[in-house]
Chain A
């Protein structure tokens, strides 16, 4: 599904990532973990086109997408969420999700300004679909609320609904459980499984080990910009190198 090959990222004199390669299998939930500063978010930023890597390649279903900007990746089905939630806070929840449908609608600046008939039909269709995604994430009741007025936990759900509206084949989630309380985390777990069950491949960067070990089918461990290990949750838990990286030498 997604393959990264020899990704290296150097910021000035600092090597943030060094020769990272791994493959994400289709239809599974893959976790990317590692101590702070391991380079997880940098890796995500490279895959999603926000940074351009120093060297290495990224493939989406065999297609080379290295260096493609995010607006080109969304129509190809690669979408992400953010660690510090990037809400469109002056818009309603429904409007946030409608932006997610942007690539799947066509009306240009002129047909929108002139309100041409096909634009109206499209607008209706988009609204219906956006409402379906709100329901999927269990936030139908918030449709008309301004996103900036929502509590943090709800913002997460809105962000997921918005990402799902893009119709992704693969969804990258950057620390989805950060800032959530235990009940919200439990809800999130259910939601992530539900997303996988729709056939979307999920990759997540996460600090909450319990969550990761619970829902991930495969795990990639990074430490200090290098890949430390790769395998099933059980293999990772028993891997001496991983234990050392997390707990220090005993």
Chain B
């Protein structure tokens, strides 16, 4: 448990000084995306890695956050911070309401239901042209401001996004080592036993689903205000699958794993530009190799490697958070 917080402190320090190593521009921009993806992966991990509930529609919560925030600030002139709060609350309520019927389902059926929801939202983004701008997107979204400071450059965006990402990670680590985190993992391992222990599995699953959606919506809002332009293509089914891939490759139930997964899947497309459309083949291979040889993801792989490097130490390594 202490190890997680130490690791977090170290990680936060690296994140805060990292920009000094880059001269700005392209690489920094990639790191901004990495921060947003980290938030999303951590959010989905709470649901998928902890509670063990799949969602193939998480890109839609990300998109709803982006569009709500974007439309309210661009078309209706709301303050961007306010639109972020509105987006978070609205998506939270929506996910809570949706969660009750949908989370009764298990396994493949839950996957199908969330998939369906994601597709519906995607179609709405495309078809409500008057509101969203349709397939050609919504542009001119204002940047976030803090007094006289406008978050418009890459460096400013970097710090903005990573502050949110670090807070998200810290909250998730706290949750992991708490009564609620344990109850979620208990549901994952044996729902019936968790209920016998008095865990209200149904409500808790809905709560974590809503929390996960809220974080995704905040990430969406940040995305809209930093990019100034959004279009439905960023919030489709492919991205939902990419998010699941990040969580699984990173390691189910590991917060740092979610960062690793997000980092890998942010950098990989940049590296794979040379092979163009064949990048999907590389993803597929990666997923196959990972599930075969590193079922606990990058985080689990690194942990077992570390254990192998110091075999003399006796005792059981506590669960990753």
Contacts and interface: CB of A to CB of B under 8 A. Distances in A.
Contact of A82 (B183, B193, B253): B193
A49 B178 CA distance: 27
Contacts of A70: 192, 195-196, 198
Contact of A87 (B183, B189, B196, B315): B189
Contacts of B319: 90-92, 95, 146
Contacts of A80: 196
A74 B193 contact: no
Contacts of A88: 185-186, 189-190, 193-194
B315 A107 contact: no
Interface string A162-183: 1100100000000000000000
B189 A91 contact: yes
B139 interface: no
Given A89-B189, A113-B171, A99 B199 contact: yes
Nearest to B189: A88
Interface in A90-117: 90-92, 95-96, 98-103, 105, 107-109, 112-115
A113 B258 CA distance: 17
Contact of A71 (B172, B180, B201): B201
A73 B319 CA distance: 30
Interface in A186-238: none
A164 to B, nearest CB: 11
B195 A99 contact: no
A166 B189 contact: no
A157 to B, nearest CB: 15
B175 interface: yes
B174 interface: yes
Nearest to A107: B179
A86 interface: yes
Contacts, number: 119
Interface in B172-217: 172, 174-175, 178-183, 185-186, 188-190, 192-201, 204, 207-208, 211
B151 to A, nearest CB: 25
Interface in A18-58: 48, 50
A162 B183 CA distance: 13
B195 A69 contact: yes
A214 B179 CA distance: 39
Contacts of B193: 82, 86-88
A87 B190 contact: yes
B104 to A, nearest CB: 13
A109 B184 CA distance: 11
A3 interface: no
A119 interface: yes
A123 interface: yes
Contacts of A75: 198
B313 to A, nearest CB: 14
A145 interface: yes
Contact of B183 (A74, A99, A119, A145): A99
B162 to A, nearest CB: 19
A144 interface: yes
Q: Which bracket fits the contact residues of B?
A: 20 to 34
Contacts of A126: 179
A103 B196 CA distance: 10
Contacts of B196: 48, 70-71, 73-74, 79-80, 86, 163
Contacts of A96: 186
A99 B180 contact: no
A162 B208 CA distance: 24
A114 B195 contact: no
A86 B198 contact: no
Nearest to B188: A90
A91 B180 contact: no
B316 interface: yes
Contact of B198 (A95, A98, A113, A166): A166
B189 A123 contact: no
Contacts of B204: 109
Contacts of B174: 112-115
B277 interface: no
A114 B168 CA distance: 11
Contacts of B186: 88, 91, 96, 99
Interface string A55-87: 000000000000001110111000110100011
Contacts of A98: 179, 182
17 contacts: A69-B195, A71-B198, A71-B201, A73-B196, A74-B197, A86-B193, A87-B193, A90-B185, A90-B189, A91-B189, A91-B319, A96-B186, A102-B198, A112-B174, A112-B180, A113-B171, A149-B316
Given A123-B179, A149-B316, 19 more contacts: A70-B192, A70-B195, A71-B199, A74-B195, A74-B197, A86-B196, A87-B193, A92-B316, A99-B183, A102-B182, A103-B197, A109-B180, A112-B175, A112-B179, A113-B174, A113-B175, A126-B179, A144-B315, A146-B319
Q: Which 8 A-B pairs have the closest CB atoms?
A: A74-B198, A103-B198, A86-B193, A112-B178, A88-B189, A86-B190, A113-B171, A70-B195
Interface of A: 48, 50, 69-71, 73-75, 79-80, 82, 86-92, 95-96, 98-103, 105, 107-109, 112-115, 119, 122-123, 126, 144-146, 149, 162-163, 166
